A = this chain, B = another copy of it.
Amino acid sequence: MTVAGAVDDDLWSAIGDPTRRRLLDLLLLEEAGTATSLSQQLPVTRQAVAKHLGVLDRVGLVHGTPAGREKRYRVDDAQLARAVAQLASVGSAWDARLRRIKRIAEAIQVARQD
C-alpha cells in the first residue's frame, strides 16, 4: 500500500491549510459558526473564511445550512473521523518504514526533545 494515494489528496489539501485547521478547531469547540463569527476569532477577513468554508464544504468536512440572513456551518463528524483515520494511516505507514530501517530508536529520542 502506497502512503500517498491520489484519493486522499483533496482531503489532505483541505486539512493541510493552517487556517482551515484552525477553522475546524473552532467549529469543534463551538458546535457551529458563521463566516463572520469565525472570522472574528481569526486573523483573516470574513471573505477569506467564507472561501475556506467553501472548500471544506465541497470536500464534505463541514456542512452549511442557511438560517435567515446568516449561514451556519457545522462539522461533519463522520467525514472528519475519516480524515483523522487517513492522517493516522499515513503517519503509521511512515513510522513503520522508519522502524523497518531500524534507525527508529535514536530518532524517537531526538523527536522527544521539543
Contact = CB atoms under 8 A, between A and B. Distances in A.
B106 A95 contact: no
User: Is the contact region of chain A dominated by helix, strand, or loop, or is it mixed?
Assistant: helix
Interface residues of A, number: 43
Interface in A7-52: 9, 12-13, 15-18, 21-22, 24-25, 28-29, 31
Contact of A111 (B78, B90, B106): B78
A102 to B, nearest CB: 10
Interface of A: 2-4, 6, 9, 12-13, 15-18, 21-22, 24-25, 28-29, 31, 77-82, 84-85, 87-88, 90-91, 94-95, 97-98, 101, 103-104, 106-108, 110-111, 114
